Structure 1
Amino acid sequence: MRELFHADLKALGDQLVEISGLVREAMDKARTAFENADVELAEAVITDDARIDYLQTSIDEKAIELLALQGPVAADLRTVVAALRMSSSLERMGDLARHIAQLARRRYPDLVLPESVREDFRQMADHCVALAGEVEQLLTDHDTTHAQQIVKLNAAINELHAKNFKTVNAADWNASGAMTADVTLASRFFERFADHGVSVARKVTYLATGEWEPVIEID
């Protein structure tokens, strides 16, 4: 019976890896659609989000079944509860990638952003794709050095997010109201994507070490 239970726990972990891979692909495609006004790629991100939603529901249903029928305790209980919470964070990351793709679709054939902020957003998007890759690797091998990288990437994204808000509030900002709203929303979507990645990193770190915050080595 316990062998079956631990096989179910492994299956939960495998599904988390699968959904994290889909999230990484979604952000990578959304980034390209956003930067290049690629409406076909944006549509693909929007459509494919249904698969992420399905996997999250599947993970949650299995986790609840294990809680109800197996009555796990101690480390096993923490693992099941963490799977529930991580699946929610990953699903939200998929939603945020979809929101970015929807911005690209809404403004097609125009680009979403004015020239003055495109480089900052390119960096922000690159960091988000890298962060999603670190999340996938963390869930695959549980090596907490990936969690450290996620926290570092999140810090860089937060700096760019703050810079974007200063830019749109500067006296020389002269973009239209619609474009200002797009810049504000896009920055928030990237920033929240990274925050959910940190949430996953904290849970894996806790399961691996008993500590909530990944330890960041000072260079």
Structure 2
Amino acid sequence: MRENYNNQLDALSADLAEICQLAEDAMASGTRALLDADLGLAESTISSREQIDSLAAEWEHKAFSVLALQSPVALDLRIMVSGIHIVADLQRMGGLAIHIAELARRRHPAHVIPVEVECVFAEMGRVAVEQADATRRVLLTRDAELASELRTKDEAMDELHRSLFTLTSSSDWPHGVPTAVDITLLGRFYERFSDHTVEVAKRVIFLVTGEFRTDDA
């Protein structure tokens, strides 16, 4: 009985990793759609929303079914409590990646971002995908050390986000307010995506150690 229960818990962890993979894929394709003004890629990214939302709802249903049918001990409860928060973070990560693709679609055939900031957004996309990949591995392995490392990796994203603000708030910014607003909004999407990977890392550390820290250190 207990072995079957453990198998169910492992399956739930694998399901979280699958949702994370979908969010990672959406970020990669959404960034490429943004940089290339690729309408078809934007559309395919946006279409992933249904699968992400469906898997998230299915995870919650499975989790509550396991809780209802078993007699969970303290660690089991930590897994479920952490998982409920994690699935919300992963779903939001997917949503943020899709928002990037939606903005690319809305401005098509024009490019959303001017040439001056393309390299910044390319790097933001790379960092975000890297963080999502690390998050997926953390979910599969419950590696507290890797989770701790992930909690500090958003510093690179924060620095990139600050560089966008510096560019768009400069007195010699040549592209006007609407473009600056789009860039600010996009930067926020990437920053929040990164923040959610950190939140997942915190939840995994709580799962492993029983301790949850509210700071980002």
TM over 0.5: yes
Aligned match of 1:131 = 131
1:15 is paired with a residue of what secondary structure? helix
> What are the Cα deviations for residues 129-174 of structure 1, in whole angstroms up to 9, with x where unaligned?
1111111111122223432442333111011112212222221123
Counterpart mapping for 1:64-103 below 5 A: 64-103=64-103
> What are the Cα deviations for residues 108-147 of structure 1, in whole angstroms up to 9, with x where unaligned?
1221111222222211111001111111111122223432
Aligned match of 1:58 = 58
> For the residues of structure 1 that align with 2:153 and 2:113, how far apart are their CA atoms?
22
Q: Is 2:173 the counterpart of 1:157?
A: no
Give the % identical residues. Answer: 40
Aligned match of 1:176 = 176
1:93/1:193 contact within 8 Å kept: yes
TM-score (norm 2): 0.92
Q: Which segment is superposed worse, 124-133 or 204-213?
A: 204-213
Aligned match of 2:209 = 209
Aligned match of 1:20 = 20
Q: Which segment is superposed worse, 132-141 or 163-172?
A: 163-172
> For the residues of structure 2 that align with 1:148 and 1:131, how far apart are their CA atoms?
12
TM superposition shift of 1:186: 0.2
> For the residues of structure 2 that align with 1:77 and 1:148, how far apart are their CA atoms?
22
> What are the Cα deviations for residues 2-57 of structure 1, in whole angstroms up to 9, with x where unaligned?
33322221121110111111111111111111111111111011001211110100
1:142/1:208 contact within 8 Å kept: yes
Gaps of 5+ in 2: none
Q: Which segment is superposed worse, 149-158 or 10-19?
A: 149-158
2:160 is paired with a residue of what secondary structure? helix
Superposition RMSD on alpha carbons, in Å? 1.7
Q: Is 2:199 the counterpart of 1:199?
A: yes
Aligned match of 1:29 = 29
Q: Which segment is superposed worse, 106-115 or 79-88?
A: 106-115
2:134 is paired with a residue of what secondary structure? helix
Aligned length: 214
2:112/2:179 contact within 8 Å kept: yes
Q: Is 2:147 the counterpart of 1:147?
A: yes
> For the residues of structure 2 that align with 1:56 and 1:10, how far apart are their CA atoms?
16
1:131/1:149 contact within 8 Å kept: no
> What are the Cα deviations for residues 34-89 of structure 1, in whole angstroms up to 9, with x where unaligned?
11111111101100121111010011112222333334231110001111111110
TM-score (norm 1): 0.91
